[in-house]
Amino acid sequence: MTWLLKAVTGVWLLQLAWRFKRALAVSAVAVFAIAAYGWAGLVLLVVGPPLLALLWRWVHPWSYWRFVGWLVARHRLRTTYGLRWAEVMQSCGLHRPIPGRPGEFTTPRLVRVTDSPVGDVLHVRLLTGQEPGDFERQAAELAHALGAPAVRVTSAGPGLVELTLVERDVLADAVELHDVEAVTDLRAVRFAVGEDGSWRTRDYANIAAEVGGGVPGSGKTAGETSLACGLIQNPAVQYVVIDGKGGEDWSWIAPRAAAYTNEDEDLDVVLELVESVHRLMRARLKTQKTQRGRANFWDLPLDPAHPAVFLVVDEVQTFTDQKGMDKDTKAVAATITARLSALVKKGRSAGVITRLLTQKPTSDAIPTAIRDNASVRTAWRVLSDDAAEAILGPVVRGSAVTPVDIPVSMPGVAVVADAGGQLERVRFPYVDEHTAEQIATRTAELRRDLADLTGPVPAEDATADESASEQEATA
Ligand SMILES: Nc1ncnc2c1ncn2[C@@H]1O[C@H](COP(=O)(O)OP(=O)(O)OP(=O)(O)O)[C@@H](O)[C@H]1O
Ligand SMILES: [Mg+2]
């Protein structure tokens, strides 16, 4: 009956026209162009749009490529993914039968497709009662059904989930920097690239310490170097570097560092430096409120006269792991460890950030008291779950993301915790040491000597320090 009604009223004609709306629109424009301007109009119609597109691409490539990306994504929404969506959902068990209508089902809705450096991202609205975990459990099936090597599932707000079809491993390629942007905001410091190809940032305000570990050659020093290259360009940042490897990995920073040593045998030299930073911390904690008005360094504006101090100790096990040391050296090592421990615990509100790197992520190298107070942790390639746990904590045991399987061929790839505490893989950028050296030389006038920052040692404080160190060392 309905077909008769449609035939009589002419609705069928409208339906047919709607179906071929694009072809009809193009023909109408062509007919109009011929009628108004003759064949020249038609030629203009054929040549005009490509020329306009070329002009657009030349004048404003950014918006042009965005528009092209949007068109391609729209096309994929309708064809590649849209046409098979119901079948994919059903084969992965993510559909729901409609009660009372046997054989029929509803599926989560594919809302949008966007592109990313990794591959297409499908934005999906969940059915009531579903949660992102339902998709996570089916990730492997989804990858096969959608023809992608892997599918990453992320929650994108209430009732929404994003499926990233991972076609390319962004982290497989090195991110080499030939210059590094200056860090102006310590609350958002770019440190590495995430798996979606975009930069990750860290808030260095209100952080006391960071520990990082990984096997030799995994990229610890290089990662720390790239971070330092951005930070040293800020006049309100001073760096103190202690290189326990005893080599020249850090010599590039000497012109800019408030203090630098690569002494790995005479632990007294190292102790003296650590003591200085510790003294600065104590002085700030004691006088900051009366002199500058606030007890917390990070509540005050950043000021080159009162810089944030980054203390980097590379291969920290040289100074903390007492195995094989003679008695006197052991005592010095214990004091260094005690001082580092105090810095890690109390340095935050004094604007002192302690960063410890090691090849040996065990409790001998980084005592648990230090590790547990380090809020930022980075694990480059390690060889065992125990080593991974020693750096990242127990969270790594139940996580699919682990630093144990990072390939040797990918130095600079590491596992870090994101702002929400979830573990993720990132790749640190690589800055070769000549570039780093140039940056350090260029910014050498921003250097302030550590002795100027700490001021002279008050006599009573020096004695108090000595007795405190003895107590902590024996503790
Ligand atoms: N992010 C990176 N991208 C590309 N290559 C890197 C990266 N990081 C490190 N590398 C390469 O790996 C080499 C070793 O890196 P690095 O010196 O940082 O290792 P490490 O973990 O500090 O080793 P060790 O414990 O022996 O000091 C570098 O010389 C460089 O060639
Ligand atoms: Mg190193």
Rounded distance between C-alpha atoms, residue 76 and residue 82, angstroms: 7
Give residues with Cβ within 8 angstroms of 406, minimum separation 6.
Answer: 218, 380, 381, 413, 414, 415, 425
- Residue 280, pLDDT score: 93
Annotated binding-site residues for ATP read: 214-221
Instruction: Answer whether residue 99 is part of any domain.
Output: yes
Q: Give the Å distance between the CA of 249 and the centre of ligand 2.
A: 7
Q: Are residues 277 and 134 in the same domain?
A: no
Q: Are residues 254 and 371 in the same domain?
A: yes
Q: Are residues 124 and 252 in the same domain?
A: no
Residue 370: how many other CB atoms lie within 10 Å: 23
Question: Which tens digits make up the pLDDT trace of 135-189?
Answer: 989 999 999 999 898 898 888 889 999 999 988 888 888 888 998 999 999 999 9
Between 364 and 60, the more confident residue is 60
Between 463 and 258, the more confident residue is 258
From the CA of 226, give the closest atom in ligand 1: 1
Domain boundary among 168, 188, 222: 168
pLDDT of 467 over the 50 cut: no
Probe target for ligand 1 pocket from 218, 262, 317, 356, with the most ligand atoms within 8 Å of CB: 218
| Ion ligand 2: residue ranges with CB closer than 5 A | 220-221
Q: Are residues 145 and 193 in the same domain?
A: no
Rounded distance between C-alpha atoms, residue 32 and residue 96, angstroms: 50
Q: Give the Å distance between the CA of 315 and the centre of ligand 2.
A: 7
- Residue 372, pLDDT score: 83
- Residue 285, pLDDT score: 92
- Residue 15, pLDDT score: 86
Q: Any idea what the CATH number is for the domain that residue 320 is in?
A: 3.40.50.300
Instruction: Answer whether residue 16 is part of any domain.
Output: no
Question: Which tens digits make up the pLDDT trace of 20-56?
Answer: 888 899 889 888 888 888 888 888 888 888 899 999 9
First vs last Cα of the chain: how many Å apart?
94
- Find the ligand nearest to 218 CA: 1
Domain count, the chain: 2
Q: Are residues 302 and 323 in the same domain?
A: yes
Q: How far is residue 283 from each of residues 61, 271, 298, 347, 353, measured CA to CA in Å? A: 54, 18, 16, 11, 15
Q: Is 225 near ligand 1, meaning CB less than 6 Å away?
A: no
Q: Are residues 279 and 386 in the same domain?
A: yes
Annotated binding-site residues read: 214-221
Lowest mean pLDDT among 129-133, 271-275, 333-337: 129-133
Q: Is 245 near ligand 1, meaning CB less than 6 Å away?
A: yes
Give 5's pLDDT tier (boundaries 50, 70, 90).
confident
Give mean pLDDT, residues 453-467: 54
pLDDT of 297 over the 80 cut: yes
Q: Are residues 406 and 456 in the same domain?
A: yes
- Residue 1, pLDDT score: 62
- Residue 419, pLDDT score: 64
Question: Which tens digits make up the pLDDT trace of 337-373?
Answer: 999 999 999 999 999 999 999 998 887 888 888 888 8
- Residue 466, pLDDT score: 46
Q: Is 411 near ligand 1, meaning CB less than 6 Å away?
A: yes
Q: Within 13 Å and on the Cβ side, how many CA atoms surround 220?
A: 30
Q: Given CA atoms 291, 295, 301, 306 in this order, what sign does their dihedral have?
A: positive
Rounded distance between C-alpha atoms, residue 401 and residue 392, angstroms: 11
Q: Are residues 360 and 446 in the same domain?
A: yes
Q: Are residues 145 and 262 in the same domain?
A: no
Q: Nearest 5 degrees, angle CA 225-CA 238-CA 376?
A: 55
Contact 213, 391 (CB under 8 A): yes
Q: Are residues 155 and 200 in the same domain?
A: no
Q: Closest by alpha carbon to 171, among 406, 454, 451? A: 406
Q: Are residues 338 and 446 in the same domain?
A: yes
Domain boundary among 168, 199, 234: 168
Give 19's pLDDT tier (boundaries 50, 70, 90).
confident
Domain boundary among 124, 142, 168: 168
Rounded distance between C-alpha atoms, residue 309 and residue 454, angstroms: 11
pLDDT of 465 over the 80 cut: no
Q: How far is residue 56 from each of residues 61, 65, 69, 71, measured CA to CA in Å? A: 7, 10, 14, 15
Lowest mean pLDDT among 195-209, 270-284, 458-472: 458-472
- Residue 455, pLDDT score: 60
Give mean pLDDT, residues 370-382: 88
Give residues with Cβ within 8 angstroms of 183, minimum separation 6.
Answer: 189, 190, 230, 231, 233, 234, 237
pLDDT of 474 over the 60 cut: no
Q: Are residues 75 and 181 in the same domain?
A: no
Probe target for ligand 1 pocket from 170, 199, 220, with the most ligand atoms within 8 Å of CB: 220
Structural domain harbouring 142 = 52-168
- Residue 190, pLDDT score: 93
Which residue puts its alpha carbon closest to atom 25 of ligand 1? 216
Give 382's pLDDT tier (boundaries 50, 70, 90).
very high
Instruction: Answer whether residue 43 is part of any domain.
Output: no
Instruction: Answer whether residue 8 is part of any domain.
Output: no
Q: Which residue has the tokens 């390319």?
A: 168
Q: Is 132 near ligand 1, meaning CB less than 6 Å away?
A: no
Longest CA pairwise span in the chain (Å): 107
Give residues with Cβ within 8 angstroms of 80, minimum separation 6.
Answer: none
Rounded distance between C-alpha atoms, residue 279 and residue 270, angstroms: 14
Q: Give the Å distance between the CA of 214 and the centre of ligand 2.
A: 9
Q: Give the Å distance between the CA of 129 and the centre of ligand 2.
A: 49
Give 452's pLDDT tier (boundaries 50, 70, 90).
confident
Q: Given CA atoms 214, 216, 218, 219 in this order, what sign does their dihedral have?
A: positive
Instruction: Answer whether residue 40 is part of any domain.
Output: no
Instruction: Answer whether residue 212 is part of any domain.
Output: yes
Mean predicted lDDT score pLDDT of the chain: 87
Q: Any idea what the CATH number is for the domain that residue 157 is in?
A: 3.30.980
**Residue 326, Cβ density class (10 Å: 0-12 exposed, 13-18 middle, ≥19 buried):** exposed
Q: Give the Å distance between the CA of 310 and the centre of ligand 1.
A: 21
Give mean pLDDT, residues 403-407: 89
The distance from CA 375 to its chain's CA centroid, rounded to whole angstroms, is 15
- Find the ligand nearest to 408 CA: 1
Instruction: Answer whether residue 365 is part of any domain.
Output: yes
- Residue 34, pLDDT score: 86
Contact 395, 385 (CB under 8 A): no
- Residue 368, pLDDT score: 80
Instruction: Answer whether residue 456 is part of any domain.
Output: yes
Rounded distance between C-alpha atoms, residue 208 and residue 184, angstroms: 19
